[in-house]
Amino acid sequence: MKRFIKSVGFALNGIRILLKNERHFKIHLIAFLFVIILGLFLNINRIEWLVLFITSALVMTLEAINSALEKLCDHVTPTQNESIKKVKDIAAGAVLIAALFAFVIGCIIFIPALYKLC
């Protein structure tokens, strides 16, 4: 049990580092808070909440992995390196792909709900 609690502490420290130092993670978190507020305002259904939470978790998790990978790459090769650049660009591209799909999913869920209000 002590090992588990220690592991949770390490994970929470990682989240604290993300919140303190990673601008893009903060942007994704603010977007997620906006999604929650909009979902509450529009009274979306349980399945829509589930889809939004899974999608948001994917984006924020990929952003965290991207940040960790960038830190590792910078540690391994502090100077400019074309191979490292490709790795970092691919990781950033993965976050962008997830964020674009999340945006489309948000539109699919929220646009019809907003249209009903008008």
* Active site members: 63
Of 57, 31, 28, 26, nearest to 110 (Cα)? Answer: 31
The CA-CA-CA angle for residues 80, 82, 70, to 5°, reads 65
Angle at 17 between CA 12 and CA 19, to 5 degrees: 95
Task: Give dist(CA 76, CA 83) in Å, integer.
Answer: 12
* CA count, 13 A, side-chain hemisphere, 94: 15
Task: Tokens for 14, please give them.
Answer: 């990682």
